Structure 1
């Protein structure tokens, strides 16, 4: 079961921050939705941002929704890439689990806090970092896919059936007849057509050497046979074979070819392992960077929505609540009731026993802010390892 985090804020004007958090913990305990509330609720600090004008905050609020969705999509792509390759990757953030990272969150001033930077500039810096790591991921992924494709192609030649696999090591020098006028061809014949082949191959073209075809090898699908033809009519004979669903193999005998093929396959396997290791390491890095970016964007959204909801000054308590999929539905109603006083319209519904509080999904804009009496965002921990 994956972890889920509620990120919410409450105004602290003329109030004791510790007391507010203590009351919140009591509400969670009474809800019986979380087994250990004392370790599930954490407060975090955010810097004093330059929030600008109201219009700028509204515009940024809309942009942050898009950034949130984009980063979440990129993060999911990384997880799916790891799963598709069956990698036993333990994703961490600076050697911390996603859960520990969020609970002990510290704003990354080195990356995302420039002196006198506006909020929109900080958001753009976050996205620039995400895009740079996504580009690196795509390059590493492409390198691995090329190496994997090369290996697959060589393995198909080595391990496929006789219609596709390399004939090095299958055909020996004694299977070949070569002269100024004659040439040996090698044909993969479906087993259910083998008798037919022997009955008709001498009539498939001009100047086919009688009784020159012999079986060299067979697998579960094909028999590989040789046949001697005059060079002048080789192409006509090959075309007649194709029309009869016999597969003429393009092969020139080389006594060193078997060893060369084995070495080529081994080199391709080493290359594939090397690129897979690089790709796996890249996944860990880009996941860490992107999850950090997503957490920063979520908290930027929380800050901006707090300014729009509560106004100035920016005296807010930012709280992280650890949940899971089951406990989230149980916890939200008591939270709404506890903080109903923050939204007069919602408070009247809570106090009216005949009315129902309509609990919708996470709001995405100003028109939805009356759904909850406090700004609320969710953050998923991608997996539990």
Structure 2
């Protein structure tokens, strides 16, 4: 599949079929590696030249917007598929691959009546795509919110002992809580473990001898228990802090633990559901945006061709996919299909001509713009 296509219209002097045959023959002879297709545009409602001129001012900006939304949805699909472990899918539009939809383009009269004014078609496309973009933002934000909550929980479960949730480490049997005694949890730097073991019994007066037990260890810290009298707890916290030991507050509650577990399971289910829903929505919406984009391109070719070649409409529109090495040759072939006097007029600014139509960087004696599918 090519990812970059040229959409081109050439002025017809005699007949479109004759020009098409000449172009096919020339491309086949001089640039055989360049796929060539007809881009069939119906007879649209021209309106006035003034309305076409006014419309042309908005075409480039609107095209950038629609193209941007298309790429945004495509990137979202790729990200979701990657996270879900899905092999990258071949996106389709109306049941056919994306590139096939472009190269076999057929105007959808039901969605875009050809008797509608061009401005109405273009504005309708812009409004529809803008609504899809707004929906995308809402759906992505909802998905990202759940993902952020899960990430916060995971950080608490995987961070260092100084900050992580201790409920998965500390068991009820590790703690003593009675009328007079309490067990505290001390986070000790790994390099200070000997200091802790030699000093914790004497930090205050009411520590139970040999009551400290190591529960867990990570790359930075070790988690120890220590049992002492209730009345001495605050004093012990203060003395421990002075020695560089952190006393973590922790109350084991089986109901709280179960609630947290249920909340985590629900968040994981919500994330999977939202991801699946968002992915399916993106598949559908990508097709809608791409369909609208190609119809917009058809309007753009039609409008620019009328302004370039005049009335009545007499032009041949085609789609090409030249390789980088063939671009110069294909441009030469296309220019050869145009009237030579007209070719002199349409040169780049550096060559003293009018420059690009509608803000295009390149100027040619024919209408031409690029479609990037990715």
How do residues 122-133 of structure 1 correspond to structure 2 at under 5 angstroms? 122-133=121-132
Superposed CA offset, 1:193-232 (max 9, x none) = 2222234445667865555432222234321112335556
Distance change >3 Å, CA 20–CA 127, structure 1 → 2: same
Match 2:51 to one of 48, 53, 56: 56
Q: Which residue of 2 aligns with 1:352?
A: none
Distance change >3 Å, CA 110–CA 185, structure 1 → 2: farther
Distance change >3 Å, CA 128–CA 184, structure 1 → 2: same
Q: Secondary structure at the match of 1:111?
A: coil
The more displaced of 121-130 and 258-267 is: 258-267
Q: Secondary structure at the match of 2:92?
A: coil
Distance change >3 Å, CA 231–CA 313, structure 1 → 2: farther
Q: CA deviation at 1:24?
A: 0.8
Q: Which residue of 2 aligns with 1:142?
A: 141
Q: Indicate conservation of the 8 Å contact 2:42/2:114, yes or no.
A: no
Q: CA deviation at 1:63?
A: 0.4
Q: CA deviation at 1:4?
A: 2.3
Distance change >3 Å, CA 146–CA 295, structure 1 → 2: same
Q: CA deviation at 1:368?
A: 7.4
Superposed CA offset, 1:225-264 (max 9, x none) = 1233555665565466556554433321124565555444
Superposed CA offset, 1:131-185 (max 9, x none) = 1111221222122212222222333344444334433342222322223454322
Q: CA deviation at 1:93?
A: 0.9
Aligned partners of 1:296, 1:375: CA distance in 2, in Å? 16
Q: Indicate conservation of the 8 Å contact 1:206/1:237, yes or no.
A: no
The more displaced of 73-82 and 205-214 is: 205-214
Q: Which residue of 2 aligns with 1:304?
A: 303
Q: Which residue of 1 aligns with 2:316?
A: 317
Superposed CA offset, 1:56-97 (max 9, x none) = 212211101001111222222223333444252432111211
1:26 aligns with 2:25: yes
Distance change >3 Å, CA 71–CA 180, structure 1 → 2: same
Q: Secondary structure at the match of 2:191?
A: helix
Q: Which residue of 2 aligns with 1:110?
A: 110
Q: Indicate conservation of the 8 Å contact 2:360/2:369, yes or no.
A: no
Q: Which residue of 2 aligns with 1:363?
A: 356
Aligned partners of 1:96, 1:235: CA distance in 2, in Å? 71
| Runs of at least 5 residues in structure 1 that lack an aligned partner in the other structure | 350-356
Q: CA deviation at 1:372?
A: 0.9
Aligned partners of 2:10, 2:322: CA distance in 1, in Å? 19
Q: CA deviation at 1:50?
A: 2.9
Q: Indicate conservation of the 8 Å contact 2:44/2:114, yes or no.
A: no
Aligned partners of 1:206, 1:113: CA distance in 2, in Å? 90
Aligned partners of 1:239, 1:201: CA distance in 2, in Å? 12
Q: CA deviation at 1:21?
A: 0.3
1:379 aligns with 2:365: no
Distance change >3 Å, CA 245–CA 294, structure 1 → 2: farther
Q: Which residue of 1 aligns with 2:41?
A: 46
TM-score, normalised with respect to structure 2:
0.84
1:269 aligns with 2:268: yes
For the aligned residue pairs, the C-alpha RMSD in angstroms reads 3.3
Aligned partners of 1:158, 1:368: CA distance in 2, in Å? 54
Distance change >3 Å, CA 155–CA 344, structure 1 → 2: closer
TM-score, normalised with respect to structure 1:
0.82
The more displaced of 79-88 and 185-194 is: 79-88
Distance change >3 Å, CA 309–CA 169, structure 1 → 2: closer
Aligned partners of 1:170, 1:187: CA distance in 2, in Å? 13
Q: Which residue of 2 aligns with 1:173?
A: 172
Q: Indicate conservation of the 8 Å contact 1:155/1:265, yes or no.
A: no
Q: Indicate conservation of the 8 Å contact 2:187/2:222, yes or no.
A: yes
